[in-house]
Amino acid sequence: MIEPRDDLTLGKLSLTYRVLFTGFLLVIGLGLCMAGAQIMLTHGKADGKAGLSMDDIVYSYYGNRSGSKLESALTGKMKDKAPADVNFMLIKWVREDAPAAEWSKVGPLLEKHCANCHDSESGLPEVAKLEVAKGMAEIDHGASIASLTRVSHIHLFGISFIFLFVGWIFGMAEFDQRWKVILISTPFAFLVLDVASWWLTKFWPECAWFTMIGGLGYSLAAMVMFATSFAQMWLPRWTKK
């Protein structure tokens, strides 16, 4: 990546590059909003209540060790995927230690209400299979080491590239140099904290606070860089004559 000249600021960019950078920031901003919505629709329902809470984070990574993953899903984020009587029957099967003899009744219910999303292509557990359902009927220990490893490397690789390009654009803003360096480095630091907090919470649920802090930290820094970049590319005060 070519380092921009010190005298090349966002307000002095040609229309071509202002449109290019604006389009990138708008799409990335929309993507981050969708990521937030996805978190609210998945982790945000882990405790069975709307909104993201500390319990949601603890249940997602440490687990709800008073019950099983399957029961937690049926009473939480997947509660509305099947009628109440079906949920009741499935929970009853789980609490009876998931007897294989009852699979002829339980299996078709999971196939009907869950298999459309939980298939081999989705990456989600194929709960319509007996061995998978019995595994999920065991005590919920939260995210597995394998899933944490997979999600961690995806986030670290993918989101760091987002902050690289956002920071590169913001680097051309007219901004106090000290605060510019802090803002550009902040999202990377909080991203590492966010991912590290998943692993810490897996073993120590009290560390769930770090997940909240990490997500809030890089979101605020990104908002400042986004707003500043937009303003200096398009507001008359900043743009070249």
Residues contacting 126, CB < 8 A, separation 6+: 115, 118, 119, 120, 132
pLDDT score for 138: 76
pLDDT score for 182: 93
Q: Which of 65-69, 76-80, 168-172 has the lowest mean pLDDT?
A: 65-69
pLDDT score for 201: 93
Euclidean distance between CA atoms 84 and 87, whole angstroms = 5
- The tens digit of pLDDT for each residue in 220-236 reads 999 999 999 999 999 98
The yes-or-no verdict on residue 21 having pLDDT over 60 is: yes
The residue ranking higher by pLDDT, 1 or 217, is 217
Residue 4's CB is within 10 A of a number of other CB atoms, namely: 14
What is the average pLDDT score of the chain?
85
pLDDT band at 190 (very low <50, low <70, confident <90, very high): very high
The yes-or-no verdict on residue 54 having pLDDT over 60 is: yes
Extended strands (E) in the chain = none
- The tens digit of pLDDT for each residue in 89-121 reads 888 888 887 888 888 888 888 888 887 888 767
Q: Are 15 and 240 in contact (CB under 8 A)?
A: no
The residue ranking higher by pLDDT, 80 or 191, is 191
As to burial, measured by CB atoms within 10 angstroms (0-12 exposed, 13-18 middle, 19+ buried), residue 90 is buried
User: How many residues in total does the chain contain?
Assistant: 241
pLDDT band at 46 (very low <50, low <70, confident <90, very high): low
Structure tokens at 87: 């949920």
Phi and psi of 27, rounded to 5°? -70, -40
The residue ranking higher by pLDDT, 119 or 16, is 16
- The tens digit of pLDDT for each residue in 122-138 reads 777 888 888 888 888 77
Burial per residue of 170-188, b for 16 or more beta-carbon CB atoms within 10 angstroms, e otherwise = bbbbebeeeebeebbebbb
Burial per residue of 93-126, b for 16 or more beta-carbon CB atoms within 10 angstroms, e otherwise = bbeeebeeeeeeebbebbeebbeeebeeeeeebe
Domain edges within the chain: 10-43+143-234, 66-136
